[in-house]
Structure 1
Amino acid sequence: MNIEQDPNAVIDIAYIAVGRRSAAGSAQALSALSSTVTQQGVDISSSSSRVTSLENSVNSTSNGLATKASTKSLNSLSSTVTSQSNTQTAQARSITQLQSTVGEHTSQISQLANSTADSNGKISATYSVKLAAAQNGLQYVAGFGLSLDNNSGVFQSQFVVAADRFAVIRDVAGNVTSPFVIDNGQVFIADAVIGTASITNAKIANGAITTAKIGVAEIDTLRIRGNAVTIPTSASTSVVSQGSGIGSWIGVIAVAVTMDQPGHIQVNFSCTQSFGHGIRDYGFRLLINGGVYASFSGTWADGFPGIAYSLPVDAGTYVMQVDWYGQDANVSIANKNLFAMGAKR
């Protein structure tokens, strides 16, 4: 038949089928091949397909119950090219299905591949594998799908997996490891390098963090190696110190802070001071590495004198000491507390 003379020509080898049926079982094989060209006005369509189907079944009786076991295999290939309303479209498709059933128990594998392109620039390619099972009235599904298309105007690819457990396996000389596993909705990563992460809730058993910026932290126990963050340091004593004369300074308490980079040191001192009777002189001063940075003095004043001081420092170790004098033994101080903290920012 000359297709050029007859644009509506159809070549169709409908099917070739062989088979055998009996009460105990059956077997069937079907192969179909078709090629068609059709035209309606200016619209033209050309398509070809090939289908192969195999089916087998066996009927048996066990313990008085009839059971049927069957298998089905299907392979279909098709290609179509159309020209419609000044748009040309080409499509190719492949479908493979395998199914096995015994009684009410069924397993199935389906594979689909499809590619499409048209003269308007739309392109689509998809590939999927689906595994299905049925048992006791329940359906179970697993599989994956891979696609690439520009239907939204830009190319977008997708890889979607449906599985209870997904793992990436690495085999080196027979040593099998899994660097990445998703098991029942939980992700397990053996080793990860993450550029930027946004984490709502984190549970870290053992973490090594180079740089961290934490807005609000609630920590039961904080241990910082190498004093990388300056820990506040303090000293306190309830020992009573008695005056021994004006200008006779007594070192009453001291602490040290080590800074590994420039910053500020904040110092706070407090105590209780008592006078026996009459007017007596007293004085306080703050020394940092032997130099006087703050001082004050006065006369008879029972109460809670204190010192608060802050200064910029370079990297190094700084010893903060508070000195005090009282005019005589009728002046005394007790409950002395000195607090110092280094701030790096």
Structure 2
Amino acid sequence: MSDLADRFKGIPGIPDGVLNAIADENVRTVLRAIADGWNVRNGVSGNGDNAFITKKDVENLRIGSGGSAQTLKSLLQTVSNDQSGNSGGGTSIKPGDIDGILSDLQTQIINSAVFRDLGERVDYIDKPGGIFDQIGQIEVVANNDRQSRIDGDTALQTNIDNLGVRVDNSETAIQSETTQRVNADNAITEHVNTQYASVNENIGLIQTQQTTTANNVAALSTKTDTMQSTINGHTASIAAESTARADADGKLFSQYTLKLDVNGLISGFGLSSSDSSSDFLIRADRFSIVSPTYNKNSPNAQKIRIPFIVLTTPQVINGRTVQPGVYIESAAIKDGTIDTAKIGVAAVDTLTIKGNAVTVPVGGSGYGYAPAAYLYMGQPGKILVLAMANWISPPGEAAASGYLKTLCDGIYGPEVGISMADQFSGSAVAIGGYDVGAGTHSISFQYSISGGARNLGATGLFAIGLQR
């Protein structure tokens, strides 16, 4: 028998020992046919042409020969790393990937069992019938009904306890009902306890329902606690539901949900776990985390902040519409990936911008001379240069005129003229834009003054590169 066949001995969820122990001949015949089909597909029987190949078999398929051979999984990981520029074992998230990742995560959550269950309304509870005879204006009931019977290979037992009081259209009662049913292949116990109080059509109910069941291929336990209040046709409900399931093939699953249903508006949270993954989901318009020591009546109440708030729907707060999002008072983040950022004030220790897409500005200042600077561009783009100069007139000097213009790699920008009357000083500002290639570029300015003498005073130079 092949290694592939060895790995698949036994049918998922239907071990051979369990299959042979099934007492019902019809059930055993159907499951045996299924088992035979699985044996063919798993390569345990037949010539193997119709056998499954697992994901693990494909990943372990070796490509190449000799010492250079590697598994398909390893080869695909190498290709993925090369495409992402990642030489490590993990996969980094780029800002442009965030939108797609969010879409994939949202799809997974929407398709999960806990999301589906949290979106379903709480089942409406009807008050138990048959407790009161509805004879006369006042009635008091306390009774027990217990029945047991055997029908073929099935044994059944029920027990119902009733306790109630009624006066006209007002009544209250407690009913406890237990059902047990067992045969060779199945065992089930269900217990339902309901209490209610009603006046006319207004009613409040509390119900606990517990079910345990087991058969040759699975075991299941469920418990539901429900509270419900109805007045004038409007209903508010709370339901806590717990489920634990174990299958014979080793698959395990458990789930807990707490739902609040007010006339169809459902909120709550749910936690589910399997043997391979887990989910925790909150369904609410607003979710926040607050300190357990907070007390709005304490002297320091106004100083206590709520550090984390999530809005899932738009809300109007103090006349302003606040959009859905995560609102954080303060955060310490070791590694963050951001697609689009709007920042009011930023304090940055080290700024690294991919490809120098926005350069750090350069410049200089002086007195009596034209400063120079050098600006590096990682890729082609545009450089904006701002030059400033001031000229001082000695006493008694005649009028003077001149110009100021920026300079980048020996190329002049537009001239800015200046005119100074007798004995007057003056200043000018010139701006130039240059399309440049990648590399280091020299930045400066040039000026000229004619007529009366003028001395160059304070000067300044500023340049920034734009690469997108």
- The alignment's TM-score, normalised by the length of structure 1, stands at 0.45
Give the number of the structure whose residues are more often strand, by fraction.
Answer: 1
**Structure of greater Rg:** 1
Q: Which has the higher contact order (CA 8 A, sep 6+)?
A: 1
